[in-house]
Amino acid sequence: MMNEALSPTPYSQRPWHAKLMKSQPFLDAVYILLGALFQAIGYSIFIAPANIVPGGVYGITIALNHLTKGMFSFAPEGFPIGITALFFNVPLLLLALKKLGISSAGKTVATFLLISLFTDFISSMTKDMGLIGNDRLLSAFYGGAIIGVGVYLIFKAGSTSAGTDVLSRVIASGRNFKLSDTIIVIDSIVVVFGLIAFRDWTVPLYSWLTIIVYGQVVNFLQPENPKRAVFIVSSKIDEIKEALVHKLDVRGTLIKGRGMYMDEEREIIFTIVERKKLPILKDCVKSVDYSAFISTMDASHDMINQPSKP
């Protein structure tokens, strides 16, 4: 009797709300909601009031907000940061859908809509008054850290916030540039735009500090092993290989395999990527072959040498 009383309830017999809270879509929605809120807090309470331009779409809109203050009667406080970000994110997402194909488009739309709404709501409540006062160094640290937590939660949900990272992917895929280099160049252009908008030579310093802080926070919050081993099985393995190499700068190994059912030989791609880049890799593969089979697992720390690039 005691064993029966203490035994866990079978999953099929649990109430609907218990099943919902354990389901992946529900957890993803919570991560996106919290991630969007954290990013909005970082932008509206710490970054924007300190005149920091942390790259990306929100760096552009923070600079535009400053430039348009008092310019238009319908927006005396300048163009709202969140709404203005939508005018950039929507066409960027459409461009990505056309050029790259994004299987997580629904999550991405929900993410950047929530960030925009939360940012403008919090800004209207705080009247652009930061919590740190005039201490821009602390604003850069706290703002970068909070944005980093938000970015991590959104990555955890398998989503993105669109923005200039999408533009970087399109440019990198079309021109055979490294994705990381393209992101750095675009963020640098945004920071220089902030320098021109605010006419303040300290803007690049605090902006890059913010970018570094939130990047380090994302890396810190990753699990002990931040890399994933990925196996890809597809009838279009050559096209997928070309896409991974030229669009994402991914290297890997082709493994000979044999199907158990059809008894046909086929090649399997094996590669290792950072966990935060896994959604991007999946999108890239699905854009070539939506029916491709993708399996992932934690990569072993026993690996000593990474494949060298030619």
Q: Does residue 110 belong to any structural domain of this protein?
A: yes
pLDDT at 287: 84
- Asked if residue 272 lies in contact with residue 228, where contact means CB atoms within 8 angstroms, the answer is yes
The two structure tokens encoding residue 116: 């925009």
Task: Kindly report the CATH number assigned to the domain that includes residue 232.
Answer: 3.30.70.120
- Strand, helix or coil at 273? strand
Q: How confident is the model at residue 137 (pLDDT cuts 50, 70, 90)?
A: very high
Of 221, 253, 286, the one marking the end of a domain is 221
Q: Does residue 94 belong to any structural domain of this protein?
A: yes
Q: How confident is the model at residue 138 (pLDDT cuts 50, 70, 90)?
A: very high
pLDDT at 309: 38
Of 166, 200, 221, the one marking the end of a domain is 221
pLDDT at 298: 74
Residues 95-124 have a mean pLDDT of 82
pLDDT at 224: 52
Answer yes or no: is pLDDT of 206 > 70.
Answer: yes
Structural domain boundaries, residue 76: 22-221
Residues 190-200 have a mean pLDDT of 93
pLDDT at 306: 43
3-state secondary structure string, 119-161?
Answer: HHHHHHHHCCCCCCCCCHHHHHHHHHHHHHHHHHHHHHCCCCC
Higher pLDDT, 244 or 179: 244
What average pLDDT does the structure give for the chain? 81
Report residue 227: phi and psi, to 5°.
-110, 150
Domain count, the chain: 2
pLDDT at 11: 44
Higher pLDDT, 105 or 74: 74
Answer yes or no: is pLDDT of 129 > 80.
Answer: no
Pick from 2-11, 107-116, 158-167, 217-226: least confident? 2-11
Q: Does residue 10 belong to any structural domain of this protein?
A: no
Q: Is the pTM of this model over 0.85?
A: no
Identity of the residue numbered 119: T
Answer yes or no: is pLDDT of 116 > 80.
Answer: yes
How far out from the chain centre does Cα 286 lie?
A: 18
End-to-end CA distance of the chain: give it in Å, rounded: 67
